[in-house]
Amino acid sequence: MNLREAFEAFVILMKTHEEGVFFSHRTPEGKTQWHCGVGKAEKVDFDHPSFPFFCVTDFLGKECLGWKFEYRQSGDIRAEKFSYEARLPRAQRQRFSLKAKSQESKKSFMVKIKEIQDFQRSGNSWVLNLAHQFEGVLEPKAKSFDLAVEIFKQFLKQEKPHTGGFIWTQDLQAISLSPETFLHHHDRTLKTFPIKGTGEKQRLEESQKEQAELHMITDLLRNDLGQICKKVEVLQERVFTDQKTFHHSHSVIEGVMKEACLTWKKYQKLLPAGSVSGAPKKRVVEKILETESFQRDFYTGTFGVRLSEKESLFGILIRTIFFENQHWKLPVGAGITVDSDPKAEWEETLEKAKSCLDF
Note the pLDDT tens digit of each residue in 18-56. 899 999 999 988 999 999 999 989 999 999 999 999 999
Note the pLDDT tens digit of each residue in 333-349. 999 999 999 999 999 99
Is 194 in contact with 214 (CB distance < 8 Å)? yes
More confident site: 201 or 340 = 340
Report the distance separating Cα 184 and Cα 48, nearest Å: 19
Report the distance separating Cα 37 and Cα 232, nearest Å: 34
Residue 256, pLDDT score: 98
Give the pLDDT band of residue 103 (cuts 50, 70, 90): confident
Enter the pTM of the model.
Answer: 0.91
Give the pLDDT band of residue 204 (cuts 50, 70, 90): confident
Give the pLDDT band of residue 123 (cuts 50, 70, 90): very high
Give the pLDDT band of residue 245 (cuts 50, 70, 90): confident
Give the pLDDT band of residue 95 (cuts 50, 70, 90): low
Q: Residue 232 pLDDT > 50, yes or no?
A: yes
Domains and CATH numbers, the chain: 3-80+105-357 (3.60.120.10)
Q: Residue 97 pLDDT > 70, yes or no?
A: no
